[in-house]
């Protein structure tokens, strides 16, 4: 039976709902406990020596799903791409960083889940500590799960190895995909990261090379290193 008024109310409600509410699986029983989810992250670091946040799994999702890309001058320079999924930051190290050209597929190596607090971390990880080197918040913002319209959650997309997101960053905009290069449930950590074709795609623009300052503090890697090194060395003694 058709009830136009009911549908109208539902439609108005839907239109007023923010487009990116960070979806949390209400009925999904966490496969891992709060402690387990970040255990790899915690094991790799000595928080008496590094200024990185210890952090914990957020019990409730924030209103908007967060993404961050951190430029990280460790033994090899790379860009860490992180997406908020179910209370933690799912993370991938992208050696060459993002490209705006849909034809260019970038290797993205999955790394351990990071705490939400990590999204604001910018500074120096002391030499000899895990990932020692300068970290800059290269881009930060919110994202939308493209597959939400088909009722596919981020958790499910991750498990299936096919993630599609629309980024609303300070530098990056539009749709990107992360595809696991192995079959679902495979333990392989290699994914590919690439721009999906939309109005933000470009074969000419290369923000990794042209936008070299922090999205948080407007500092270059060199400035961050210079300003933070004294503090970090002092802290680690
Ligand atoms: Mn890194």
Model pLDDT, residue 25 = 52
On whether the pTM is more than 0.85, the answer is: no
CA of 183 relative to ligand 1 center, distance in Å: 25
Neighbours of ion ligand 1 (CB under 5 A): 72, 80
Model pLDDT, residue 30 = 47
Tens digits of per-residue pLDDT, 147-183? 999 999 999 999 999 999 999 999 999 999 999 997 6
CA of 93 relative to ligand 1 center, distance in Å: 6
Model pLDDT, residue 185 = 59
Model pLDDT, residue 9 = 55
Residues forming beta bridges with residue 142, ordered by sequence position:
66, 168
Model pLDDT, residue 236 = 45
DSSP label of 188 = -
Model pLDDT, residue 40 = 94
Distances (CA, A) of 118 to 57, 94, 159: 11, 17, 23
CA of 31 relative to ligand 1 center, distance in Å: 26
Report phi then psi at 190, rounded to 5.
-90, 125
> Do 22 and 64 touch, CB atoms closer than 8 A?
yes
Token digits for 99? Answer: 């490209």
Tens digits of per-residue pLDDT, 90-119? 999 999 999 999 999 999 999 999 999 999
Model pLDDT, residue 61 = 55
How confident is the chain (237 residues) per 10-residue block, as mean pLDDT?
57 49 54 71 93 84 82 97 96 98 97 96 94 97 94 94 97 97 73 97 97 97 90 52
| Region label for 179, one of left (φ > 0), alpha (ψ between -120 and 50) or beta (otherwise) | beta
CA of 113 relative to ligand 1 center, distance in Å: 12
Model pLDDT, residue 71 = 98
CA of 138 relative to ligand 1 center, distance in Å: 12
Model pLDDT, residue 10 = 55
The span from the CA of 220 to the CA of 234, in Å, is 22
Domain definitions of the chain by residue range: 4-236
CA of 94 relative to ligand 1 center, distance in Å: 9
> Do 113 and 38 touch, CB atoms closer than 8 A?
yes
CA of 155 relative to ligand 1 center, distance in Å: 22
3-class SS shares of the chain: helix, strand, coil, % to 5: 25, 30, 45
Model pLDDT, residue 35 = 59
CA of 14 relative to ligand 1 center, distance in Å: 39
Model pLDDT, residue 64 = 74
CA of 72 relative to ligand 1 center, distance in Å: 5
CA of 133 relative to ligand 1 center, distance in Å: 9
CA of 202 relative to ligand 1 center, distance in Å: 26
The C-alpha angle with vertex 158 and arms to 113 and 114, in degrees rounded to 5, equals 10
Strand intervals (E) in 146-203: 162-169, 173-180, 190-195
DSSP 82-123: EEEETTEEEEEEETT---S-TT--EEEEEEEEE-GGGGG--E
Model pLDDT, residue 131 = 95
CA of 174 relative to ligand 1 center, distance in Å: 24
CA of 42 relative to ligand 1 center, distance in Å: 15
CA of 79 relative to ligand 1 center, distance in Å: 7
CA 35 centroid distance within chain:
20
């Amino acid at each position: 039976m058709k009830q136009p008024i009911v549908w109208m109310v539902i439609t108005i409600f839907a239109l007023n709902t923010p487009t990116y509410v960070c979806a949390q699986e209400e009925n999904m029983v966490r496969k891992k406990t709060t402690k387990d989810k970040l255990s790899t992250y915690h094991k790799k670091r000595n928080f008496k020596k590094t200024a990185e946040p210890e952090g914990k799994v957020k019990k409730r999702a924030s209103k908007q799903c967060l993404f961050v890309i951190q430029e990280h001058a460790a033994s090899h320079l790379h860009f860490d791409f992180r997406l908020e999924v179910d209370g933690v930051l799912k993370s991938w190290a992208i050696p060459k960083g993002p490209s705006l050209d849909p034809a260019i597929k970038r290797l993205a190596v999955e790394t351990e889940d990071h705490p939400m607090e990590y999204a604001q971390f910018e500074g120096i990880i002391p030499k000899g500590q895990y990932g020692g080197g300068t970290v800059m918040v290269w881009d930060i913002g919110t994202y939308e799960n493209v597959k939400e319209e088909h009722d596919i959650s981020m958790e499910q997309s991750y498990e299936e190895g096919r993630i599609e997101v629309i980024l609303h960053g300070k530098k990056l905009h539009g749709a990107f995909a992360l595809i696991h290069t192995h079959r679902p449930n495979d333990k392989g950590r290699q994914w590919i990261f690439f721009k999906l074709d939309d109005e933000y795609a470009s074969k000419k623009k290369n923000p990794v090379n042209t936008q070299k300052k922090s999205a948080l503090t407007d500092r270059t890697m060199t400035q961050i290193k210079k300003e933070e090194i004294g503090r970090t060395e002092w802290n680690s003694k």
